[in-house]
Amino acid sequence: MFPKRPAFGVDCGSGPFVIAEQWETATDARQERFEVIRSMLQGLFDLSGRTALVTGAAQGLGLAMATGLAGVGAQVVLNDIQEDKLRFEVARLAAAGLRVGACPFDVGNPVHVRHHVPAIEREVGPIHILVNNAVIHRRGPIEDCPKPRGTTSWTRT
Ligand SMILES: NC(=O)c1ccc[n+]([C@@H]2O[C@H](COP(=O)([O-])OP(=O)(O)OC[C@H]3O[C@@H](n4cnc5c(N)ncnc54)[C@H](O)[C@@H]3O)[C@@H](O)[C@H]2O)c1
């Protein structure tokens, strides 16, 4: 079982985002896998006292990287535009004793970024590690991809 650490909340304008959820709801096999990975990583390096922001962290590689960073001691702010999914995953990690907070906003929107990043730094402290991971995947034949219009497609994530 993970040692319990205090969770922290990030207020990005719509309330505190850390919600406790029973770690016991995870399967035994999943808990054991987490513990093995965490103990291996802790022997390699320690990110205690560091703060990370991982964008696009409600699923996939972003969620995996956020879990890894938090597992070696960093406090991690997870960001995504899928707010419900983000809150669910943050609650799951927080219940496992990891220091995580959710900050849902659109990284492709400069107004959101200018608002939320300083808010995170005010409430949690300076961001030492930025994982700029958010992406919109379009899977399919290249001929079905929408034609780029200027920089619009690029700036969406
Ligand atoms: N999956 C792969 O095979 C692969 C291979 C090479 C590189 N990558 C890179 O790894 C990264 C993650 O890939 P993945 O497969 O985990 O992707 P994913 O689609 O599973 O996750 C991306 C996340 O980003 C979020 N997101 C999208 N737009 C956003 C926005 N504007 N603001 C905030 N969040 C936003 C999505 O909601 C989603 O949760 C991407 O940068 C991708 O290019 C992935």
CATH architecture of 42-156: 3-Layer(aba) Sandwich (3.40)
Give the pLDDT of residue 30.
Answer: 74
Single out the residue of 138, 121, 140, 137 nearest to residue 129, CA to CA.
Answer: 121
Going by alpha carbons, the residue nearest to atom 2 of ligand 1 is 61
- Rounded to the nearest angstrom, the distance between the alpha carbon of 3 and the centre of ligand 1 is 30
pTM as predicted: 0.79
Report the nearest atom of ligand 1 relative to the CA of 108.
31
End-to-end CA distance of the chain: 36
Report the chain (157 residues): mean pLDDT per 10 consecutive residues.
45 39 57 74 83 97 95 95 97 94 96 97 96 87 69 65
Report the nearest atom of ligand 1 relative to the CA of 63.
16
Give the pLDDT of residue 130.
Answer: 98
Ligand 1 proximal residues by C-beta, below 6 Å? 55-56, 58-62, 79-82, 106-108, 133-137, 157
- Rounded to the nearest angstrom, the distance between the alpha carbon of 150 and the centre of ligand 1 is 22
Polymer length in residues for the chain: 157
Tell me the domain boundaries of the chain.
Answer: 42-156
Q: Give the mutation target among 12, 53, 55, 61 for probing the ligand 1 site: most ligand atoms within 8 A of CB.
A: 61
Strand, helix or coil at 22?
coil
Say how far apart CA 90 and CA 78 lie, in whole Å: 7
List, in order, residues 6 or more apart from 50 with CB less than 8 Å away: 73, 74, 75, 128, 129
Single out the residue of 135, 131, 157, 134 nearest to residue 51, CA to CA.
Answer: 131
* DSSP character at residue 24: G
